[in-house]
Amino acid sequence: MGSATATINTGGVKMKPGDSLKTTKPIRSQKTGTLLPREGTFVRSVENMGRQLILVNFGSAGEEYLFPDEITPEPAKK
């Protein structure tokens, strides 16, 4: 079962569903093989076999699980 919030990267930033984020490097989709957009939205955090995984919504590209070091939170827009 997933967690509604997650602490990401070494900065200790807490993210909640709907928060914007960017990938730290180009990432290929496990499902389609295409490169994912650099911008996405945090959905939830899950733990699998002792590893934290972050579910990210990439809009029309779908949802993918990423490792915390593959994403960085975006500052809130004012």
Give the domain ranges of the chain.
6-73
| Helix, strand, or coil (residue 59) | helix
Q: Tens digits of per-residue pLDDT, 2-27?
A: 666 676 654 677 889 999 999 999 99
Give me the percent of the chain exceeding a pLDDT of 70: 82
For the domain made up of 6-73, give the CATH fold.
SH3 type barrels. (2.30.30)
Q: What is the mean pLDDT of the chain?
A: 88
Number of other residues whose CB lies within 10 A of the CB of residue 20 = 14
pTM, two decimals, is 0.84
| Helix, strand, or coil (residue 68) | helix
